[in-house]
A and B are shown apart, each in its own frame.
Chain A
Amino acid sequence: MKLEIGNFQVQHVEFGETSSYSKGTLVINKKEALAVVMEDEHITEADIILTKPGDDVRIVPVKEAIEPRFRLNGGPTFPGITGKIERVGNGKTVALKGCSVLAVGKHWGSFGDGLIDMSGEGAKYTIFSKLNNICLVADTDEEFERHEQQKKNHAIRWAAHRLAQYLGSIVKDMNAESTELFELGPITKRDKKVKDLPSVVFVMQPQSQIEELGFNDLIYGWDTNRMLPTFMHPNEILDGAIIGASYMCCSSKWSTYDFQNCPTIKSLYKEHGKTINFLGIVMSNLNVSLEQKERAAMFVQQIASNLGADGAIIAEEGYGNSDADFIECFKLLEEAGIKTVGMTNECTGSDGTSQPLAALDVSADAIVSCGNVSTLIELPAMGTVIGELESLMRDGLSGGWEDDDVLGPSVREDGSIIMANDSMFCGDSVLGQSVKTVKEF
C-alpha cells in the first residue's frame, strides 16, 4: 500500500468571504463551515473561534482534536464517521498542517475532556498549544447525558470530524507544498535485503473499556470494545481509519489528530529498510475483565509470532487497570522471544511515591515513560477562556475537582487553576510526541 500525504503548512487562519488557502493562510467562510456543523439537528448552537500559539487563551473542555484532511479519491476522510466505509491508506490525501479542529463544549464537560493553554506556563503541557486551533464550540440537545460524568459527546465530535473534512477539501485541487510518502508492500513480497532485517510490529492498545457503544475509539466506525486483536497496515492509522474516544483520562488520550500523525509509526517507517523490516500494526485494545485481557494478549502474541516478528513496540492508551493489559501483552511477547519495548505513562501520585504501574512484571524491562498523570499543575488566569472554565471543577473531569481539603477548588475566583496533569489535553502524548519522561528524585 502506498499513501501520499500532500501537505499545506498553515501559518495563519482567518475568516473570509471564500474558504480558500494561499501561501500559508487558511481562510474560512464561517457560514459554510457552520452549515456543515449544523447538519446534525442535535447541535443546538455552534460557533467557530480561532486561536493561535501565543494567544492569552485557555480552552476547556476540549473533547477531541482532528487534523483537517481530504482524500483525493473523493471518499470520506473518516470512513464510518463522515461517510461510508471504504479502505484508506492507499492513494493521495491532502492535509492542512500546523492546525487542528478542536471539539469544545460550550458549557458541559465530561470525565475525559481536557484543557489547553495557548501561552504562558501551561502551554508546555500539550502539543496543541503549538497549533493554530479552529475551535468548534457547541452545545447540543443530548439531555440524557447533560449531567453525567461520562459523556459520549457524539454530536460535537462527529461535527468536528465533518468540519475537519470540509476544511481539508479546501485544498483538494491544489498542488501540495510538500509531500510525505508512506509505502509498505505485502510482507512476503518484500526484497530479500529487507526481509533479512529484524522484523518489527507496533502493537497498539486503544481505549475500549466501556461496554456500552459510543464511548470508545472506533476503527472504520466499529467500536474497539467489540473486537479481538487484528492486523492492520500503518497507512490505515495515518489516513483516518481510527478516531479518538470520549471517556479516557485526557492526558492519556489518543486524539484523532494523534492517530493521523502517529509519530511512532513515522519513526518505524524511517527505519524500515535500513535497520528494521516494519511488518505492520497489531491492533489490540484494552479490556475490562481479566479473561478478556488474557485473550487479547494471546492474540497479540499469536499474530506477532506467526508473522515472524523479532521485536515489538507496544503502546497503551491509558493507565490503572489498563496496565494489566499492557503488562500481559509485554509478558507474552517476551515469552515468544519477541524483544519488546513499551510506551506508557505512569500514575505515581502528586508526591511521586505511588507504584508507577498498577501491574508489574520482570519481563517489562524496557519502557519509555511519557509522563506522570498525577503531577499537580497550578496556572494563573488567562485573558480569554474558550468554552467554560467552571467545567474543569464542576463536570467531573478526571484532573479537576470541586473541592479538596488541602488544595481547594480547581478553579479559583480569580480564574487561576490547580489541576492534575490527568486533564491536560493529550498531555502525555504516548503515541510518540512526548518530550517528557519520569525520573527518580
Chain B
Amino acid sequence: MKKGILYLNQFFGQIGGEDKADYAPAIKEGVVGAGMLLNNLLEDAEITHTLICGDNFMGSNEEEAVEKLIGFLEDKEFDIFFAGPAFQAGRYGNACGLICKAVKEKFGVPVITSMHEENPGVDMFKKDVYIFKGGDSAAKMRKDMPKMAKFGNKLLKNEEIKGAEAEGYYPRGIRLEVFLEDKTPACDRAVDMLLKKINEEPFTSEMPIPELDRVPIAPAIELSDAKIALVTSGGIVPVDNPDKIQSSSATRWGRYSIVGLERLGNKAEGAYKTIHAGYDPAAADADPNIVLPLDALRAYEKEGKIGSIHDYYYATVGTGTAEGEAKRMALEVIDYLRNDGVDAVILTSC
C-alpha cells in the first residue's frame, strides 16, 4: 500500500474561513475534508497525513511556512504528494505551488496539484510541478480532485504518461519525441494542416511557439575605467584543450589566462585553436582572434578607451549545448566574473 500526503489551506482543511487565514502550519494524521475524496479514489494507496496552513500565513511568511511544513514531513514515509485543488484562489494556488516544489526538491517524490488557468500559480509553478487544469470554484471539486487522483495512480503504478495534453495538466516546457500510435506520417500531417490553414479551418501546430524569456536590461557602463572580460561559445581553447571541453553538447568550460598576451597565437604555432564542431574550423585555427578578438580589445586598452582587460577569458562550445547545461556553466563563470570585479562582458558566438 503506497502512501500519500495532501496539503490543504485553512478552509478546505476545515479550520475556518478567511478569519483563519493566519493559521500556522500544522500536520494531522489521516484525512481531512476533501482528502476523503482523494483517499477513496486512490488505488492501492492511502493518504496518511494532511498538512494544513492558512493562505495568509503562507503568503506573508513563505520561507518560515515551507520550512515548518517540510519539517513535519522529515520523519514520514510517503511516495506521492498532493496539494489543493486551488481553483481560482490566487494565494492558495501560490501556496500549493510553493509547497509542491519544495517537497519535490527535498524528497524527490511526484507532486500534483490543480488550478484554474487564470490562477497566477499556474505560470509561476507549471515548469516545476504537475498542475492539472482545474475549474474556477470549489463547486468543481468533484471534477478536479478525481483528475489528480487518476494521474497519481498512474505515476504510482509507473504507467506510461501520454503527454501534457492527453493527461490534462499544463505544459511544463518539456518536449519529448513520441512515436504516434496511429503512425500517420509527417507528409500527411503537413498536407492536412496546410489544407486546413488554406481553408481557414482550425488546426493545431505540433510545435506551439513558446513565450520568449526576456531579461531586464543591464545599465550602460562607463568605459574609461571599466574592466572588460571576453567570453566565447566559439570553442577557442589552448591547443591541447586542457579542460577536455566537448566539441558538441558541451558540459565543460575553461578559464584561460591572457596576461601579457597581445593577441592569441594560432593552431600552427601551437597556441590556440577551435574545437567547435558546428562550423568549418579552418579560419579560426589560422587566426583565433577572429572569434575571440583579443588583439582588437588590447588596442582599445592601450588607447585608454577601456580601463583594462580581465586577466582571463572564458570559453565553451555552443553547438548542441543543452539549455540547462549552458545555464549552469554561465552561473559558474559569473561567479568568477563577480569575484574578479568584471564590469562588462563581450560575448562572441559562432
Contact = CB atoms under 8 A, between A and B. Distances in A.
Q: Do chains A and B touch in the complex (CB under 8 A)?
A: yes
Interface of A: 111, 124, 149-150, 198, 200, 210-212, 263-264, 266-268, 271, 275-276, 288, 310-313, 320-321, 339-341, 343-344, 346-357, 360-362, 364-372, 374-375, 396, 398, 401, 404-405, 420-422, 429-441
B186 interface: yes
Interface in B180-215: 180, 183-191, 193-195, 197-199, 203, 205-207, 209-210, 212
B210 A441 contact: no
B165 A436 contact: no
Given A351-B324, A401-B246, A441-B176, A200 B185 contact: no
A25 B210 CA distance: 51
B320 interface: yes
A313 B196 CA distance: 13
Interface residues of B, number: 50
A353 B174 contact: yes
A267 B187 CA distance: 6
Contacts of B197: 311, 339-341, 366
A276 B185 contact: no
B190 A264 contact: yes
Contacts of B165: 439-440
Given A271-B195, A372-B176, A441-B163, A433 B209 contact: no
A124 B207 contact: no
A372 B177 CA distance: 6
A376 B323 CA distance: 16
B319 interface: yes
A198 B195 CA distance: 9
Contacts of A321: 278
B277 A149 contact: yes
A366 B203 contact: yes
A353 B2 CA distance: 30
Contacts of B206: 367-369, 437-438
B177 A438 contact: yes
Contact of B247 (A149, A198, A200): A149
B186 A430 contact: yes
A220 B331 CA distance: 50
Contacts of B190: 264, 267, 313, 341, 343, 368, 432
Contacts of B29: none
B210 A349 contact: no
Contacts of B139: none
B161 interface: yes
A344 B187 CA distance: 11
A356 B185 contact: no
A439 B194 contact: no
Interface of A is mostly: loop
B258 interface: no
Contact of B193 (A111, A266, A366, A375): A366
B163 A268 contact: no
B345 to A, nearest CB: 21
B1 interface: no
B71 interface: no
Contacts of A124: 179
B216 interface: no
The 5 A-B pairs of least Cβ separation, nearest first, read A432-B187, A440-B171, A349-B322, A354-B323, A263-B187
B259 to A, nearest CB: 30
8 contacts: A263-B187, A264-B191, A348-B176, A349-B324, A355-B323, A365-B205, A440-B173, A440-B175
Contacts of A433: 185-187
B172 A366 contact: no
Nearest to B213: A355
B269 interface: no
A175 B13 CA distance: 80
With most chain B CB atoms within 10 A of its CB, the pick from A264, A339, A357, A440 is A440
A357 B212 CA distance: 12
B276 to A, nearest CB: 11
Contacts of B207: 344, 346, 356-357, 367, 369, 438
Contact of B320 (A347, A355, A375, A437): A347
A368 B278 CA distance: 25
A437 B194 contact: no
With most chain B CB atoms within 10 A of its CB, the pick from A311, A368, A433 is A368
Contact of B177 (A343, A361, A421): A421
A266 B187 CA distance: 9
B209 A362 contact: yes
With most chain B CB atoms within 10 A of its CB, the pick from A310, A351, A360, A435 is A435
A352 B197 CA distance: 28
Nearest to A371: B177
Nearest to A362: B209
A396 B210 contact: no
Contact of B191 (A111, A313, A421): A313
Interface in B279-333: 279-280, 319-320, 322-324
B280 A212 contact: yes
B164 interface: yes
B248 interface: yes
With most chain A CB atoms within 10 A of its CB, the pick from B165, B177, B323 is B177
Contacts of B185: 263, 429, 432-435
A164 B103 CA distance: 60
Contacts of A340: 197
A356 B175 contact: yes
Contacts of B203: 366
A355 B297 CA distance: 33
Contacts of B164: 439-441
A220 B165 CA distance: 45
Contacts of A422: 320
B178 A439 contact: yes
B194 A313 contact: yes
Contacts of B319: 320
A367 B205 contact: yes
B280 A438 contact: no
B186 A370 contact: yes
Given A348-B174, A368-B193, A372-B177, 17 more contacts: A267-B191, A341-B194, A348-B175, A349-B323, A351-B174, A355-B210, A366-B193, A367-B207, A374-B322, A398-B320, A432-B185, A434-B186, A435-B183, A438-B176, A439-B175, A440-B165, A441-B174
